[in-house]
């Protein structure tokens, strides 16, 4: 990564990475619902803030995108908790930009519960609701790693 090339706001990044990594590690999220602000492709660009394998030249411009996410994680006994709860709220407002969704704006809430069965096995349940649509999504599952 090379910042402020030639004394300007121009940056160069080469490799395989998530463009959002300096801001927030997406792969560490607990919910199945994504942080939608990172999935937006500005204008006709093919690049978003999610995972990329490229050479990226970036220059700071006004984007016309407003939004973000708020996440609340509750673990009653801190690191020793067997269960946890997460609430994730996404809001993205776009003005004259293309977005790969049915709706132009994103306004969603996800509620997620998890229970740690073993050190590497976690049960999950999640309800996600997009306020721009009348239907929500519900999921049950488990997460494991060996």
As given in the structure block, the two tokens for residue 8 are: 């300007």
Q: Give yes or no for residue 53 having a pLDDT over 70.
A: no
Segment 56-91, tens digit of pLDDT? 677 776 666 778 889 999 999 988 899 999 999 999
Residue range 14-23, pLDDT digits in tens: 876 665 665 6
| Residue-number span of the structural domain to which 23 is assigned | 5-144
Kindly report the average pLDDT of the chain as a whole number. Answer: 79
Q: What is the pLDDT of residue 101?
A: 47
The model's pTM: 0.61
Domain count across the chain: 1
pLDDT at position 112: 95
Instruction: Report the distance separating Cα 99 and Cα 29, nearest Å.
Output: 22
pLDDT value of position 108: 92
Query: How many residues in the chain?
Result: 146
Q: What angle do CA 132, 69, 17 make, to 5 degrees?
A: 115
Report the distance separating Cα 36 and Cα 107, nearest Å.
Answer: 9
Measured CA to CA, the distance from residue 132 to residue 120 in angstroms comes to 36
User: Which tens digits make up the pLDDT trace of 12-51?
Assistant: 878 766 656 656 666 667 777 877 777 777 666 666 666 6
CA 113/CA 45 separation, integer angstroms = 36
Q: How far is CA 98 from CA 2, 48, 105, 144, in A?
A: 29, 12, 10, 36
């Amino acid at each position: 990564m090379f910042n402020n090339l030639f004394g300007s706001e121009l940056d160069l990044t080469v490799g395989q990475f998530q463009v959002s990594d300096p801001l927030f590690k997406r792969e560490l999220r607990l919910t199945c619902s994504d942080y939608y602000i990172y999935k937006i492709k500005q204008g006709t660009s093919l690049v978003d803030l999610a995972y990329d394998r490229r050479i990226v030249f970036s220059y700071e411009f006004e984007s016309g995108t407003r939004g973000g996410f708020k996440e609340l994680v509750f673990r009653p006994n801190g690191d020793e908790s067997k269960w946890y709860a997460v609430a994730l709220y996404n809001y993205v407002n776009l003005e004259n930009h293309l977005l790969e969704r049915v709706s132009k704006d994103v306004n969603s809430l996800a509620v997620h519960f998890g229970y740690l069965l073993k050190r590497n096995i976690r049960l999950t349940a999640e309800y996600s609701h997009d306020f721009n649509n009348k239907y929500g999504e519900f999921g049950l599952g488990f997460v494991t790693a060996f």
